[in-house]
Structure 1
């Protein structure tokens, strides 16, 4: 039976031993929560935002998604200012820059708006909680581990990232570089980190450029859904198909054709809809005073269950999934 919270119940008494504990308040109804993605037309961000909006509807809030059409470092600033003026109860943001947005988000919090970062974090002082899709070290290392297996731990490799300032990308790349220092990768060499700016055409061109500039290239990691799909589209009609291995982070729906035609063997991701869903519930818990964002706080995120706030206000959704021909048709997102 599902737990039911009663607003009128301020105390819970444990019968028999007489212990009294404060009950967690119920989620407030009618909370205004806005999602602010890196860019409004990014397919990954759309899935994540829709997951959040579904959660907001579930708990009786009023949700919306607004944002820029490009992923520039300052493109989100005007949207933050507008949401402050609208007195949103919470802003859920995938940050385009770790530091540039902090003064504006601090102003939001000073005005009573809760700030949740998800997917891509700011500096901790810019938000109340960060919803991380998975452990950052685990994501970065897993990408190199997967590519290493696919190229027999030998050859030149490159990374096709999003924007140079993207917090999540840079953190994952740092852990990729740490993983590459291990002895089993002694025959793998990182020759280039390219940036497609989470733009489809630029990512396509950057993939083409990598293959042309590095004739001994054996593998590319693209830890961005825009980059991996654009890279796969170029590779699928290139003479390098079957010779250069592409992996990274993508959604099953956008990568299915490339897995089935042999362009891509395997890639990874979590469910972005669940990430947005979890972020929305965290925002509601903050705005309802169930939690403050300190380490050890706990809250329930609907169908996903109970979560605990970790160090530096971080909440982790869970480990990523590896997709290949054997399992890709089991997923639809």
Structure 2
């Protein structure tokens, strides 16, 4: 007699020795056959890595230790007196795939701490902020155990999901599901799916994530970019400065690698967010600006 695929998943997820990407692929098979698109979208994000436009699950946002590199003394603590700002810039968003995280841990071997560089615009802002030490490069340190915790939480979610399926009478016959099981799974999504994942991925339809914040930016059309930024309460003067920066810089060919003047503009806007003169939090500012400008460049 074939072991039901849901029981197979339970066995895989409950043993930490099993390769986590393989466990995720088994869950992908189940979610696809049952037509559970919310869960399928989450599994695909864990397998392939998260798009920066998607709101990350809470367990993938971790706190780091801030330091600067002094060429004479090595790494030194970076003290930010503003508590809210310190919490924001110390947040590390782990977007990498589970496979990448496993590779990162295997490369680190016995290292207890790992470094996560800042995005370019945040680094530029912090280097300007560090008084009298403009050449000291800031970085973030996290414990390897924090990365392991991300992976273990994924494994636990998979196990809970498989147990929820079983509790609803959805097991499968080998690798197949009856029409009745498919109907049960879709009629009981709130018990099987949403209670664990609602609010993590935005609205999911047909396996594709659709953001509630729509970006209507046409590549190469600065007016569409300007209109979007006006909706984000960026004033005309700053938008004009961005237009001049884009005109002066070479066209970007890769997301996140803009020219020096555009990068400087992003840094100045992030600084405004930190000062409170632009009504958006510093944690969201850099990603919002970089994502919108990347869309303008067609990236």
Mark yes or no: TM-score above 0.5. Answer: no
Scaled by the length of structure 1, what TM-score is found?
0.26
- The structure in which a higher percent of residues are strand is 1
Alignment TM-score, normalising by the size of structure 2: 0.28
The structure with more radius of gyration: 2
The higher-RCO structure (CA 8 Å, 6+ apart) is 2
